[in-house]
Amino acid sequence: MRGFCFRLTGGAADGPRLGVLQTPRGAIHTPAFMPVGTQGTVKGLTGEEVRETGAEIVLANTFHLYLRPGPEVVAHAGGLHRFMAWDGPILTDSGGFQVFSLESLRRTGDEGVTFRSPIDGSEHTFTPEGVLEIQRRLDSDLVMPLDVCLGYPADDAQAKEALRLTMLWAGRSKVRGVAPHQMLFGIVQGGFSAALRREAAERIVELDFAGYAIGGLSVGEPREVGYTLLAEVTPRLPADRPRYLMGVGSPPDLLAAIARGVDLFDCVLPTRVARTGVVFTRSGRLSVRSARFRDDHAPPDPTCQCRVCRTYSRAYLRHLFHADEMLGPRLATFHNLAFLGTLLGEARAAIAAQRFETWARGVLAEYRTSW
């Protein structure tokens, strides 16, 4: 773990916290949102454009890159950073979520999980050690071990077995280790049981990982259930290690998690909804495809200073989507990531000024979920 250092610079250990995660490829100022570049690309944007949105780190997917183009191709290119022309830090997930979403195409045992490729039906096996080797060849910076992620609902029996496998594989991953320039996280699972979540957090901390991820939330459970379970976990994680909540990206959920002491986030939501014509604004989500924007020449979000909002109108974006022009999804994607970049920047400033709760309350009072 050479060149890695995480330090808190403000806030409270288990409340809103301000920090810097220093990596060999640059600093990440937390709380931070990581745009998702599943296939080695944040869909529709260049690396320079992703940087312009304020992102300091991106996420890529081990499962998808393993299947296509293959880790050997990425390694031959000099690693994922060179392959995708991104010189900042990259987090690679283990691919476990994708594997376990293939319910009819997988078999799970203590050794690992065997699955059939959704691309060509070929059979593959992921083991804890194998997944780390794939990520070593990808040459990412932050590395996730293989785990078992359940959907909602899940009973305690399912959650206990998922936790058993996750801990078994976490122990093997810690023994296997990663390259000296990589940072290995442990993942907290436990389903939707507060007791199992507490147990999972305490047991994963005993293994002493460099950082800790919280998985298996934002998978269909009621919002308050996720918040409650998050509050059970974060106080049990070391204050001096980064905390990463997997798969969360809506503005209300980001602020709620920051209030509970989370540092890092990722989610496909901002880019996925952008491709359907939905943009984030201070007053909620807005579908620019709506007929009411035909003659609306205001910016997508009048409060936003990103280059999309400085240049283009709702009417123009609506036209692009209805004309099936690729520029529409590109502009909406850029804006949504820039919106979150600005929001997280304001959150950091509010934490530094010791006014996060007041600031967040004002943001949430204005924001409403609207399609």
User: CA-CA distance, 81 to 31, in Å (whole number)?
Assistant: 23
Residue 50 near residue 58, CB atoms below 8 Å: yes
For a pLDDT cut of 90, what percent of the chain falls above it?
Answer: 94
pLDDT average, residue stretch 355-360: 98
For a pLDDT cut of 70, what percent of the chain falls above it?
Answer: 99
pLDDT at 201: 98
Question: For all residues of the chain together, what is the average pLDDT?
Answer: 96
pLDDT average, residue stretch 187-208: 98
Our measurement of the distance from residue 41's CA atom to the centroid of its chain's CA atoms, rounded to an integer in Å, reads 14
The CATH fold of domain 5-267: TIM Barrel (3.20.20)
Q: Is pLDDT above 80 for 371?
A: no
Q: Is pLDDT above 90 for 196?
A: yes
In which band, very low, low, confident or very high, does the pLDDT at 97 lie, cut at 50, 70 and 90? Answer: confident
User: CA-CA distance, 315 to 291, in Å (whole number)?
Assistant: 9
User: CA-CA distance, 113 to 34, in Å (whole number)?
Assistant: 27
- Provide the annotated active-site residues: 93, 266
pLDDT digits (tens, 9 = 90+) for 11-20: 988 899 999 9
In the chain, where the domains are located: 5-267, 274-366
- pTM for the full predicted model: 0.96
Q: Is pLDDT above 60 for 261?
A: yes
Q: Is pLDDT above 80 for 48?
A: yes
Across 196-331, where does the E strand assignment appear? 211-214, 243-245, 264-266, 278-281, 284-287
Q: Is pLDDT above 80 for 1?
A: no
pLDDT average, residue stretch 59-67: 97
Element holding 59 (H helix, E strand) = strand 58-61
CA-wise closest residue to 331 among 282, 261, 285, 278: 278
- What φ, ψ does residue 223 adopt, rounded to 5°? -55, -45
The strands making up 123-126's β-sheet, listed across from edge to edge, are: 106-109, 112-116, 123-126
pLDDT at 105: 80
Q: Is pLDDT above 80 for 68?
A: yes
pLDDT average, residue stretch 356-362: 97
pLDDT at 150: 93
pLDDT digits (tens, 9 = 90+) for 124-154: 999 999 999 999 999 999 999 999 999 999 9
In which band, very low, low, confident or very high, does the pLDDT at 104 lie, cut at 50, 70 and 90? Answer: confident
